[in-house]
Structure 1
Amino acid sequence: MPDAPDKRLLAIGDIHGCLDLFDRLLDQVAPGPDDRLILLGDLIDRGPDSFGVIERVLALRPVLPQLTVLRGNHEQMLLDYLTGRDTLMFLANGGGATLSSYRRAGFDTIPDEHRDFFAGLPSLHREDGFIFVHAGLRPGIPVDQQQEDDLLWIRGPFLHSDWDFGATVVFGHTPQANILRRPGRIGLDTGAVYGGSLSCIDLTSGRCWSIPAG
């Protein structure tokens, strides 16, 4: 693996069960214990191995002590499914692939360790002049007054606004052909599960990595 500079601030977009792409991206980026790595949510659903992705993330925690994993709308849909609140929404948005991956691993349901992991995910993280969030922020609303639904689901009002939130917002959720970089916004969902790529950015240097699907 290539040598990695010290103390990078890294962010990775929506993985959506694409364990092979995630592993290949980790090989390229080679995060170490001094790096800060933020995963922007939607680790699960639609792709072939959501179980494997979560196992990989849990295994990374001891070796990457500065790892932060955010909640995406798909993690929220899984939590709602597990509490019986919205089964159809979860299954209609790729949840069946997640359940299948757990069954292939020998689990009839989501194990407690994974349930606790999903339940403990934050929806927003701030660091070094950046705001990390899965979907975005609602313009005109202070960051500390944002609604959870917007943090997980918002698209148009955030994407089509140039509202200054006082920091660059790093987000996923809305697939783009390439990493989106414009004033105050960095979008990292590059459609891994749709045949696009899985992307990472080092916010300390501006370097980017994108691993194409297939």
Structure 2
Amino acid sequence: MSQMKQTDPTTCVIGDIHGCHATLTHLLALVLHKAQTIVFLGDYVDRGPHSKEVVSTILALQQQETHRIIPLMGNHDFLFNQYLNGQDASIFLQVGGLQTLASYGLHPSASQQEIEDKVPPAHRAFFRSLPLWWQDSHAIYVHAGLQPGRHLSQQTSAWCLWAREHFLQDSFDFGKPVIFGHTVFDKPFMSANRIGLDTGAVYNGFLTALLLPKREIVCVRNSETNNRF
């Protein structure tokens, strides 16, 4: 009897969503049947109109248990989590937080009790639990970037959530490709060891998914927002 050829399971990686729920739903319909693991690179909230719905959809996917769902933390998720914990919200409100609050039915002056009443416990737990990075046999996944020459276990939130030029311009090889979001490109950024998937969905660009190991790209144009750079 011939032995079946073993193939690596497919991982689907999805770039920055920023409250673009209808676009996410469209993209998921195109990729869910193609992958066993779904990695979200963070920035579920802010700027777009439907942050709450985006989080609810990801939580529903986790509950279905038909896929392995890996949602990572983005810098906007970090800022929203600070807001939820009663910390300084000035930056959060400046970078699109007003749209996030509106999706939860909250006013910027809402009390802590109102926040707890309007943001479901599962959503608050979601933002508390997001890891900075993840890896599998295909790649390393992170929202913004990694510090060159530093072991994964020693990477800091400053790099994982906010890195840009220093990560992009450095040629350090982490042993696997690093798949990231955060920095907006007109089309997916593809190099030998770095792949950027933030293609500006919330700026009327595309929401992009990458299927590994084949490096198949699936993009959906967003029409939910009127934002511009």
Residue identity matched to 1:173: H
Residue identity matched to 2:179: V
Identical-residue share of aligned pairs (%): 40
Map residues 50-61 of structure 1 onto 2, 5 A cutoff.
Answer: 50-61=51-62
Counterpart residue number, 2:30: 28
Counterpart residue number, 1:163: 172
Say which of 197, 200, 210 aligns to 1:191.
200
Establish whether residue 152 from structure 1 lines up as the match of residue 161 from structure 2: yes
With the length of structure 2 as denominator, give the TM-score of the two structures: 0.86
Aligned-pair CA distance for 1:142: 2.0
Counterpart residue number, 1:40: 41
Aligned-pair CA distance for 1:151: 0.5
The answer as to whether partners of 1:31 and 1:37 remain within 8 angstroms in 2 is no
Please give the per-residue CA displacement for 1:37-68, whole angstroms capped at 9, x wherever unaligned: 10000011110100110111111113334111
Counterpart residue number, 1:62: 63
The answer as to whether partners of 2:138 and 2:213 remain within 8 angstroms in 1 is no
- Structure whose CA Rg is larger: 2
Say which of 58, 71, 74 aligns to 2:73.
71
Counterpart residue number, 1:81: 83
The answer as to whether partners of 2:38 and 2:67 remain within 8 angstroms in 1 is no
Provide the secondary structure at the position in 2 that maps to 1:30.
helix
The answer as to whether partners of 1:71 and 1:134 remain within 8 angstroms in 2 is yes
Separation (CA, whole Å) in 1 of partners of 2:126 and 2:85: 15
Residue identity matched to 1:72: G
Please give the per-residue CA displacement for 1:57-80, whole angstroms capped at 9, x wherever unaligned: 111113334111001111100111
Establish whether residue 49 from structure 1 lines up as the match of residue 50 from structure 2: yes
Q: Name the count of aligned residue pairs.
A: 208
Aligned-pair CA distance for 1:8: 1.5
Counterpart residue number, 1:137: 146
Q: CA RMSD in A?
A: 2.0
Separation (CA, whole Å) in 2 of partners of 1:30 and 1:140: 35
Please give the per-residue CA displacement for 1:149-180, whole angstroms capped at 9, x wherever unaligned: 21011111001111111111000011100011
Structure 1 stretches of 5 or more lacking a match?
Answer: none
Separation (CA, whole Å) in 2 of partners of 1:79 and 1:44: 11
Residue identity matched to 2:97: G
Say which of 105, 112, 132 aligns to 1:103.
105
Provide the secondary structure at the position in 2 that maps to 1:41.
coil
Separation (CA, whole Å) in 2 of partners of 1:117 and 1:125: 16
Counterpart residue number, 2:133: 124
Separation (CA, whole Å) in 2 of partners of 1:177 and 1:45: 20
Aligned-pair CA distance for 1:6: 9.1
Establish whether residue 11 from structure 1 lines up as the match of residue 20 from structure 2: no
